[in-house]
Amino acid sequence: MDPVKACSIKLNDGRLMPMLGFGTSAPGEVAKSNVEEAVKTAINVGYRHIDSAYLYLNEDEIGRAIWKKNADGTVKREDIFYTSKVWGTFFRPELVQTGLDTSPRKLGLSYVNLYLIHFPAALKPGEELFPKDKDGEIIFDTVDFGATWEAVEKCKDSGLTKSIGVSNFSCRQLEMILNKPGLKYKPVCNQVECHPYLNQSKLLEFCKPKDIVLTAYAALGSDSRKEWVNKNTPALLKDPVLKAIAEKHRCSPAQVALSFQLQWGGVVALAKSFNEKRIQENFQVFDFLVTPEDMETLDGLNKNIRCFADPRAWAIPRRGQAPHLRGA
């Protein structure tokens, strides 16, 4: 059996998604050429799931990497599971497909495998990723949430994307989609921050019976150089408990953190690195199993600590409401 298929999860639309993906978000000081080289390295070592977004501003480089590996015979297009995301400035229904059109064009692909609503907040349309007023406050947009999802469904129907889902959604925000009158497709996944310090057990409990896969980003913590990262978050991979389990299994703390996600069941993990050795090392996570006792210990590390701002503090304004930030 194809090892990639053997390590894949079946989505609620019948398609397969590799359980270990390669994340590509990077701080601004990381050269775009480094992203291209990292993606080529990832494909060489065996990654077939590549995660990016309009927001990351690196899809040109990822596209070049994919096609160079296609040209040298390493992969075919159908071997790659590529994820992109619609950003908040494209949340108006008439703009959703426009946002998606830019990704395949930059990538040189005719479709993406998965298209996600990136964040549960609509922003003022325009060229700025984070539109702000004269006081430096983000300018939100008033968008009917159901209409945005219907536009994403149309992207699936048109063949621009094979599967559709969401990112950074709470249980309440997921219910807004699931309970929408006339729902045609439910999300196949919800991509959220998830790691031993933030195990997302309640969200996982909500998603599993609804056949919605949880995808973990920041599974290894996150680079403190990123603008939206909490600089006071403790470094996950330096945790003494994580390091002790890694020593016992003769592996790296990163491999233990990834195994923690993958062995939960129904969870996909995104690993990110721009270091060739670590890219290869992270992909070897299927070579061993963390014991049930270790899983319980790792679960006990949960502190509800986030690397990124809590997305539950954002809301997509409903029709007739003023755009705003609020707790949820």
Catalytic amino acids?
56
Any idea where the domains of the chain sit in the sequence? 3-314
Q: Which of 32-36, 62-66, 251-255 has the lowest mean pLDDT?
A: 32-36
Interatomic CA distance for residues 247 and 67, integer angstroms: 39
CB 29 within 8 A of CB 18: no
Highest mean pLDDT among 23-37, 245-259, 301-315: 245-259
> Quick one: average pLDDT of 101-128?
90
- pLDDT of amino acid 102: 81
| Residue 233 confidence class, pLDDT cut points 50, 70, 90 | confident
C-alpha pair distances (Å), 66 with each of 9, 61, 301: 22, 9, 37
Would you state the pLDDT for residue 274?
Answer: 92
Which pLDDT tens digit goes with each residue over 21-56? 999 998 777 778 899 999 999 999 999 999 999 999
**Range in 133-137, 224-228, 298-302 with the lowest mean pLDDT:** 224-228
Say if residue 6's pLDDT is above 60.
no
Q: What is the pLDDT of residue 26?
A: 83
- Predicted confidence at residue 265, as pLDDT, reads 75
pLDDT at 19: 96
Q: Please check the confidence at residue 2 and state whether its pLDDT lies above 70.
A: no
Claim: this prediction has a pTM higher than 0.75: yes
Top-tier CATH class for 3-314: alpha beta
Rounded to 5°, angle at Cα 260 from 258 and 266: 95
pLDDT at residue 283 greater than cutoff 90: yes
Question: How far is residue 71 CA from its own chain's centroid?
Answer: 27
- Confirm if 109 and 101 have CB atoms less than 8 A apart: no
Burial of 305 (0-12, 13-18, 19+ CB in 10 A): middle
Q: pLDDT tens digits, residue range 79-106?
A: 999 999 999 999 999 999 998 888 877 8
Is the pLDDT at 224 greater than 90? The verdict is: no
Check if the beta carbon of residue 9 is closer than 8 Å to that of residue 20: no
Q: What percent of the chain is predicted at pLDDT more than 90?
A: 73
pLDDT confidence of residue 105: 78
Alpha carbon distance 260, 278 (integer Å): 18
- Give me the pLDDT at residue 314, please: 55
Q: Pairing state of beta strands 8-10 and 16-18?
A: antiparallel
Average per-residue pLDDT for the chain: 89
Instruction: Supply the angle between the helices 253-262 and 276-283 in degrees, to the nearest 10.
Output: 40
Give Cβ neighbours of residue 209 (< 8 Å, ≥ 6 apart).
none
pLDDT tens for each residue of 142-173: 998 889 999 999 999 999 999 999 999 999 99
Both structure tokens of 292:
């049930």
Choose among 25, 23, 24, 19: nearest CA to 6: 19
Reading the block at residue 104, the tokens are 């395949």
Tell me which amino acid residue 153 is: E
**Residue 176: which pLDDT band, with cuts at 50, 70 and 90?**
very high
